[in-house]
Amino acid sequence: MLITKTIQGLLIPVSLLLLLPSETVAATLGICYGRVANNLPPTSEVVNILKTNGISNVRIFDPDPVTLQSFSGTGINLMTGVPNEVLPSLASGTPASALQWLQTNIFAHIVPSQIRYIAVGNEVLLKDPFYAPHVVPAMVNIYQALKTLNLDNTIKLSSPQAASVLSKSYPPSLGAFNPSLRSVLLPLLNFLRETESPFMVNVYPYFSYTSSTSNRISLDYALFRSNDMVQDGTLMYGNLFEATIDAIVHAIEKEGFAEVGVIVSETGWPKGGGEAASVENALAYNENVVRRVAGNAGTPKRPGVGIEVYLFDLFDENGKSGDECEKHFGIFGLDGIKAYDLRFNSAN
């Protein structure tokens, strides 16, 4: 089936959009608002922090009613998550029950026009593989519910995955999905192609660097400041962020889904709690990500194709489990003052 999109009255195959000038694809910068903490400011104050800093796109990880109500009418666009543990009931139900879930948990608290994406699960294949078989069936039911409301063209569905879904990522042209995950990823990619929705991936060069064996990944390469370029055929890579995205793109194309775009649903760098985790490095990393979004730079494989990126995280989350650094990704302090001088408004 040929997927087309109407631009200025013309029906254009989606696959050809990759060849159009950069201005046809707008780069968007957002931020993740994680709430695994017991000391966060009220959401009403959070909204003021976001507006003061010109941030108009936010990812939340669950449809908390108070959070949604606080964002309602603010003009801030949301990506809202469906928790992993909800997937089985949505998958085993019907479009009608999915519609009831949407109405009760999301649209009763915020107008649909402020919802850009619904992220169905998060890193299911990495964190909760038990739920993996339920991802696409849940998405299908939610999609049918959105069609009932005539919202299927304005609210897109995806399921953010960790970059570890790749079994090969170096060089990027060898990017390939883990064969053991194809039974879930191929139906997901097919759904995304049919609904003209993006593949969402969480990209963390920090963890790639700290888990790298034999120092194959240098800190400078992870922080966008390497003088040594990685050559991959005719393309040159100076940082791990773009190399990871292009490895995902190559993996998607190898499965026959070149029409599917990519969104970075999380990326960031901790400012404490681990090796190479510092304010200076967090600023260096996030500043370079913002600069690339603002410049609509794309990647070496898809130059000029703007990448939508969500920085992680708005605040530190003192309730996070795992390594100590997991608690220290916050770009803002609890008082709303930036932990470091990162400027957002140049990207939107």
Residue numbers annotated as active site: 123, 266
Q: Classify 22 in phi/psi space as left (phi over 0), alpha (psi -120 to 50) or beta.
A: alpha
CA 55 from centre of chain = 16
Residue 122, SS3? Answer: coil
CA distance 22 to 24: 5
Spatial distance between the Cα atoms of 238 and 145, rounded to a whole number of angstroms: 43
Return the pLDDT at 344: 86
CA atoms of 28 and 58, how far apart (whole Å): 11
Asked whether the beta carbons of 191 and 139 are under 8 A apart, the reply is: yes
Cβ 222 vs Cβ 209: under 8 Å? yes
Which regions in the chain score pLDDT beneath 70?
1-26, 213-215, 345-348
Residue 125: Cβ within 10 Å count: 22
Nearest 5°: the CA angle 197, 169, 279 is: 85
Report d(CA 225, CA 238) in Å as an integer: 8
Q: What is the pLDDT of residue 14?
A: 44
Upper half-sphere CA count for residue 39 (Cβ side, 13 Å): 12
Q: What pLDDT is recorded for position 345?
A: 64
Residue 42 and residue 236: Cα distance in Å, rounded?
A: 45
DSSP labels, 163-207 = GGGEEE-SSGGG-EE-GGGHHHHHHHHHHHHHTT-PEEEE--HHH
Residue 213 confidence (pLDDT): 67
Alpha-carbon Rg of the chain, whole angstroms? 19
Q: What is the pTM of this model?
A: 0.91
Burial string for 132-142 (b: 16+ CB within 10 Å, else e) reads bbbbbbbbbbb
| Residue 266 neighbours by CB under 8 Å, 6+ apart | 32, 59, 160, 202, 203, 204, 310, 312
| Residue where the block lists tokens 């690339």 | 292
Task: Encode burial over 281-294: b for 16+ CB neighbours within 10 A, e otherwise.
Answer: bbbbbbbebbebbb
